[in-house]
Structure 1
Amino acid sequence: MVNRLSPDEAMFYFLDGSGTSAHLGALLILDPHKKTKHPGAEVDYNALVSLVENRLQTAPRYRQIVAEITFGLARPVWVDDREFDINFHVRLSALPQPGTVEQLQELIARVMSRPLDRTRPLWEMYLIEGLYDNRSVILTKTHRCMLGSPEHPELSEVLCDDVADREPLEDDLWMPRRPPRSASLTAGALAEALARPGEVVDSLLRGNGPVADLWSVADKSARVVSGVVSQMVNAAPDSPLNAVTTSSRLFAFSSLARRDLEAVVAKYECTLNDVVLAILTGALRRWLMSVKDSVSHGETVRATMPLSARDPDTVEGEASGAWIVIGGTEFVTDLPVGEDAPSVRLMQVAGLADRYSQSTRRMSQGLRPILPELGLVPFSDRSTRAFAGIFQRAYNIPISMSSERIGRKYVGGIPITGIFTIPTLATQRALGISVNEYANQVQIAFIADRSVVGDLPAMPGYVTESLDELLTGPAPAGSDR
């Protein structure tokens, strides 16, 4: 029996293209100077390769490739890579001296700009040496189609341990299974389709087969879904963040001490996530002022974020404490970048998020497959892109925010001092933001289109300034909520 990509997985697989790279990742900063039960332990390249090989038995998809079906008669299938080479996927890199954060960010941007090799399993991992103070970094890069469910975690989560002295897994000799022949896959796809004869005619006429020029799944889907979107939320404000994008990326990250955010929480009697959103709003305001003649009073940026990050109790089972947040219910809220008073901006952020997180009109399941019941090509390249286009004006910026603090993590006995998520950057989205809480730090990462947000390296400074003005500014009268 073939292991076919799910509708979600197939959609993201076909989403790659100009201006879109459907991969995400994680940045793990290691500090060998931290005291552990294994003083002197280090993760060099050979040790990392051995560790990854040992853990891949818990994540078999990382030794599989995607095999497409002739004429697009069905969704692609997962098959074992008979020429799997661990050294192709796990790579060694180094920063030039002096190993600054800026140099690290530029290296990550170059890595995340490159597409993954579709003839191999869709992931890469880099051990980056030479970060200042003798620290090292692990960077993972995984295609979004690999992460179809909680049973298929991102590789950084497979690699990390909750304790410093975890024993290796027992050796498990992996032998790749012989991939099915192309003719067999084609015949199987036809057999599946013929079991639903009513769908065959419709799919052949509207799918990705030889007569795809007559009809398209996207045509039918657009009519259905666009009505739903228009009811869910009106169009997002005009923004340079929805410009036509390229595949060239920039990356930046910033860490904020949790105690500083807690001081703002106590000062304004709000929640920690209110403060985080207000800080991001202040940073976006500064960026907009650097690229526009003016930012008008009342101007907003529309963001989508996980509902579980707003109120974990409202979404049963979604709060996991993981740093790769995928799936789940989202809601759309407005960030008041036009408000120049920091304290008023915070109150507006909190009030809008409270209101919209409880509004069904602001709920969204995010990018979801169209007509998943169809057997023949529900996700061609054209239909997936058309579907993404439907949502291009529903929001300006995605914010990925974990709903729980991440517990202490280790790699090969070495403590991790920083965990940053690198989100997927979708078409016509020039900026993506992720927020994690780890090691008494709130850790924020930005990925952007280089041609649109060319000054992204300034964003961490904007974040710090936005926090400082909340710490030092007076609280407004009657700020308790």
Structure 2
Amino acid sequence: MPDRLSALDVSFLYLEEPTTPMHVGSVGVFETPESGFGFDDLVDVVRERLAYVPRYRQRVRWVPGNLAHPVWVDDEDFDLTYHVRRSAVPRPGTPDQLRELVARIMSRPLDRSRPLWEMYLVEGLEGGRFALLSKTHQAMVDGISTVDIGQVVLDTTPHRPEAPADTWTPSAEPSSIELLAGALVDVVRRPGDLLESAQRTLTDLPRAAARAVRLLGGAAGGVATAMRTAARPAPTSPLNVSIGAQRRFASVDTSLDDYRAVRRRRGVAINDVVLATIAGALRSWLFTRGVRVVSTTTVRALVPMSVLTDDSSRSHVAEYILDLPVGEANPAMRLQQVAYATKAHREASHAVRARALAGMAGFAPPTLHALGARVASSLSRRVFNLVVTNVPGPQTTLYVAGAPMVASYPVVPLAKGQALAIGLTSYKGKVCFGLNADRDAMPDLNVLAQCIPDALTELVEAVEQMPTRPDRRARKAH
């Protein structure tokens, strides 16, 4: 029988609305190699790598009467050139033109009658560069049986490895009678699935808060703090408004050395420095909007974090809710407050070290950002104001068909009623931010984007004037 979607997988299909398409994206910018790179090269690479991700040649087939969750069936009419597409920006091919194209492409929902992914070759960028934009539905990427397509096309050397033999032959699609029979068998074998589905449709704030607390770890202090945070509705914020179908996208490059310098001087995690920087940027942005900011003002972020299981054999992505102290005027004090809030969670949940995380098979940045988005979408939007996904990437060059990648920006989808999602990836000495926002609610997205490097500079200058604090987190690299 075909694979059946899990309750979590299918929830992203049920939750999808015209204003909240449930796909995650990744934008990679590449230098064109001397041998050149064109559309045919991309099609060849994707065709070779599909053997690693068979789900990308399958589509969703619903069970008559919704008696059970839908199943994945092979697309007998699979058309690779439908999914791999070619686009271009007009001269001069500026970063702003690329961002506008990304926003328009990510605004469009995927065709549910086909496999739920697309990849675009964007030509015409300044300096002879090109970009690859991948777009994958959250129902597809679970990090175990399926990873993001943007991950599998990348190589660690400029030489393409030998492609595996493609022996794929589509299986015949089951009939409606076969689907019903399979559904009845599954109900008998796993009657709890029906209850699970019903419970998911009735998820509300208390259940979402309880789930977040349960996954935050076993430390008494950490759980108590999480319970107090998650049990309260998210603070009122201009980030939480009715949103439309259209998006804006902004990207920001910052230096990883700046985050490392703050980490060394203050003995904190790089993730703490990132979150403190975002808090400072949000503070400045709120002032530009004329929003009243007092010392107690916070913005609540959902920060998906990779944690080890109890036996440390594998990792999963769990929820972590953090009130960013945007009301604190002192950048060093903001960092201290963030570090204090995150310490108990890291210790209780066995957070995966960045160096180990970046090297784990199946957990490259595009896949982890997709998993983080899944976590965000599964929680009530009343619990948090925005999502922040931070995924450490490799510090060595990655390639597609010999073309070196120079930057990578995640595109995290928006939840209903949330105007902004922030994703960031460290790669080759840079920390690359991708800001996905509602087009109408965030006309000043570029202002917020500029506030990020300004807030980082402010933080670096503040800690340089302070005595160095020993790094008590030697066990952590990130």
TM (normalized to structure 2)?
Answer: 0.82
Question: Which amino acid is the alignment partner of residue 61 of structure 1?
Answer: R
Aligned to 2:68: 74
Whether 1:279 aligns to 2:264 is no
Aligned AA (1:340): A
CA-CA distance at 1:108 after TM superposition: 0.2
Moved more, 156-165 or 470-479: 470-479
Structure 1's 90 and 479: CA in aligned 2 closer, same or farther, altered over 3 A?
A: same
Do the aligned partners of 2:389 and 2:424 also contact (CA within 8 Å) in 1? yes
Contact 2:29 2:408 in 1 (8 A): yes
Residue 16 of structure 1 is matched in structure 2 by 16
Could you tell me which of 147, 150, 166 is aligned with 2:141?
147
CA distance in 1, matches of 2:209, 2:280: 33
- Whether 1:43 aligns to 2:37 is yes
How far did 1:348 drift?
Answer: 2.0
> Displacement, 1:449?
1.4
1:91 aligns with 2:89: no
Segments of 5+ residues of structure 1 without an aligned counterpart are: 34-39, 208-215, 320-326, 361-386
**In the alignment, which residue of structure 1 is the partner of 2:368?**
none
Equivalent residue for 2:231, pick from 226, 229, 234: 234
SS of 1:264's equivalent in the other structure is helix
Query: Is the partner of 2:248 in helix, strand or coil?
Result: strand
| Percent identity of equivalent pairs | 35
User: What is the total number of aligned residue pairs between the two structures?
Assistant: 428
Which of 242, 245, 265 lines up with 1:244 in the alignment? Answer: 242
**Partner in structure 2 of residue 480 of structure 1:** 469
Structure 2 counterparts to residues 388-403 of structure 1, below 5 A: 391-403=380-392
Q: Once the 2 structures are TM-superposed, how far is the Cα of residue 346 of structure 1 from its aligned partner? A: 2.0
Unmatched runs of 5 consecutive residues or more in structure 2: 214-226, 350-375, 471-478
1:131 to 125, 134, 142: 125
Q: State the SS of the aligned residue for 1:259.
A: helix
Aligned pairs (5 A) from 1:193-232: 193-194=187-188, 217=199, 222=204, 225=207, 228=210, 232=227
User: Cα deviation per residue 1:373-402 (whole Å; 9 max; x = unaligned)?
Assistant: xxxxxxxxxxxxxx9697222111111112
Code of the residue aligned with 2:152 in structure 1: it is V
**What does the per-residue CA deviation read over 1:206-227, in whole Å, with 9 as the maximum and x for residues that have no partner?**
97xxxxxxxx656765498257
Q: Please name the residue that 1:303 is paired with.
A: 301
Residue of structure 1 in register with 2:456 after alignment: 467
Task: Specify the alignment match of 2:371 in structure 1.
Answer: none
Contact 1:29 1:137 in 2 (8 A): yes
SS in structure 1 of the partner of residue 119 of structure 2: strand
Deviations 1:239-292 (A, max 9, x none): 222222222111111111122222333444433222211111111112222224
Task: Give yes or no for contact 1:307–1:357 (8 Å, CA) kept in 2.
Answer: no
Deviation of the 1:409 alpha carbon: 1.0
- The answer to which of 225-234 and 402-411 deviates more is 225-234
The CA deviation at 1:404 is 5.5
Query: Does structure 1 conserve the Cα–Cα contact (< 8 Å) formed by 2:393 and 2:427?
Result: no
Q: Distance in 1 between matches of 2:379 and 2:159?
A: 49
Query: How far is the alpha carbon of 1:141 from its aligned partner?
Result: 0.1
CA contact (8 A) 1:308 1:403 kept: no
Aligned alpha-carbon RMSD (Å): 2.9
**Mean Cα displacement is larger for which, 158-167 or 105-114?**
158-167
Retained in 1: the 8 A contact 2:51–2:166?
A: yes
The structural deviation recorded for 1:358 is 5.0
1:165–1:117 distance in 2 versus 1, CA, 3 Å: same
State the distance in 2 between where 1:49 and 1:316 align: 38
2:433 is paired with a residue of what secondary structure? strand
**Which is further off, 223-232 or 132-141?**
223-232
Aligned to 2:356: none
Distance 1:315 1:468, change over 3 A: farther
The whole-number CA distance in structure 2 between the counterparts of 1:389 and 1:416 is 32
Match of residue 7 from structure 2 = 7
Q: Which has the larger radius of gyration?
A: 1
Q: Determine the C-alpha separation between the residues in 1 that align with 2:269 and 2:192.
A: 50
Matches within 5 A, 1:104-115: 104-115=98-109
* Aligned equivalents of 2:464, 2:104: Cα separation in 1: 42
Could you tell me how far apart the structure 2 residues matched to 1:222 and 1:303 are?
18
3-state SS, counterpart of residue 103 of structure 2: helix
Which amino acid in structure 2 is aligned with residue 22 of structure 1? Answer: M
Aligned-pair CA distance for 1:435: 1.8
Q: In the aligned structure 1, how far is the partner of 2:441 from the partner of 2:327?
A: 20
Question: Residue 146 of structure 1: SS of its match in structure 2?
Answer: coil
Aligned-residue offset at 1:151: 2.7
Structure 1 residues 195 and 464 mapped into 2: Cα distance closer, same or farther (>3 Å)? closer
Give the counterpart letter for 1:408 in structure 2: T
The answer (yes or no) to whether the contact 1:344–1:476 under 8 Å persists in 2 is no
